[in-house]
Structure 1
Amino acid sequence: MASYSPLLLLVLCTLTVAEAQLKVFNMRASKLDSSFLGTPDAYVKVFCGSATLGETSVRHNTENPWWDEDFTYINARENDVMRLEVHDHDFGFDDLLGVCQRKIKRGTHEHECFLEEGGSLHYTYTLG
């Protein structure tokens, strides 16, 4: 029986750092700050740890955009840092309107964060 102890310990250690699937969805912003050039053309870039999950489509000329894209990452781990960057699409250079960062936890969570340049981003994520 003693020869199984190291194997059992290895299996238990593997389970504690198991990867899980992260899904980010239901993103919408409100009261985004409009520049002197008019209302923003906003989009969101999504990251988990060092992985880039993608970016939403651009919502033109609205201070209250919403996005119906979902982003999935199968190699997420609890306490990884998820980062959402809200940008204003412009000719030449896109302006960063704000960043939302959070350590992810198991389960489904809704959050709202306030952006540096004004307005807020609401989003939902599931880690399981």
Structure 2
Amino acid sequence: MASCSPLLLLVLCTLTVAEAQLKLFNLRASNLPSGILGTTDGYVKVFCGSVTLGETSVRNNNPNPWWEEEFTHFNARKNDVMRLEVHDSDILFDDLLGVCQRQIKLGTHKHDCFLEKGGTLHYTYSLG
């Protein structure tokens, strides 16, 4: 029995740090607020842990944008924090409309996130 302990420990350690593929898709927003310069020019920045996964294109003059981009992170782990920042693109500086954060879990999940300055971000992710 004692000879199995190191092997069992190795297997358990491997399972707890196993990495999986994160895929974020079906990003859309509804009822984004209008600013001083008019209707929102929205885009989303995507992070997982300390890694920047990228950002969507800007959807000009659209309070209900939908983004075609999909984001993949091959070194994600269960319970990593995924952060989505919704911005309004402007000439001088971009306004942060809200931040959505969540610990990722195995499987496929759909979420709605209510933004601090109004509107809702809808998205789907899978981890596996």
Fold match, TM over 0.5? yes
**TM-score normalized by structure 2?**
0.95
Q: What residue number does 1:27 align with? A: 27
Match runs of 1:27-46 below 5 Å: 27-46=27-46
**TM-score normalized by structure 1?**
0.95
5+ residue gaps, structure 2: none
What's the RMSD between the two structures over aligned residues?
A: 1.1
What stretches of structure 1 move > 2 A for 4+ residues in a row? 1-5
Q: What residue number does 2:65 align with? A: 65
Match runs of 1:88-99 below 5 Å: 88-99=88-99
Q: What residue number does 1:55 align with? A: 55
Alpha-carbon distance, 1:65 to partner: 0.3
Secondary structure of 2:10's aligned partner: helix
Give, in whole Å, the separation in 2 of the partners of 1:99 and 1:5. Answer: 45
Give, in whole Å, the separation in 1 of the partners of 2:125 and 2:112. Answer: 12
Q: What residue number does 1:127 align with? A: 127
Give, in whole Å, the separation in 1 of the partners of 2:6 and 2:54. Answer: 41
Give, in whole Å, the separation in 1 of the partners of 2:8 and 2:118. Answer: 52
Q: What residue number does 1:114 align with? A: 114
- The amino acid of 2:45's aligned partner reads K
Report the more deviating stretch, 6-15 or 57-66.
6-15
Q: What is the number of residues matched between the two proteins?
A: 128
Percent identity of the aligned residues? 78
Alpha-carbon distance, 1:4 to partner: 4.4
Give, in whole Å, the separation in 2 of the partners of 1:47 and 1:59. Answer: 20
Give, in whole Å, the separation in 1 of the partners of 2:59 and 2:89. Answer: 9
Q: What residue number does 2:87 align with? A: 87
Alpha-carbon distance, 1:2 to partner: 3.8
Q: What residue number does 1:103 align with? A: 103
Q: What residue number does 1:17 align with? A: 17
2:75 aligned with 1:75, yes or no? yes
- The amino acid of 2:126's aligned partner reads T
CA deviation map 1:39-91 (0-9, x unaligned): 01100000001100000000001000000100000111111110000000111
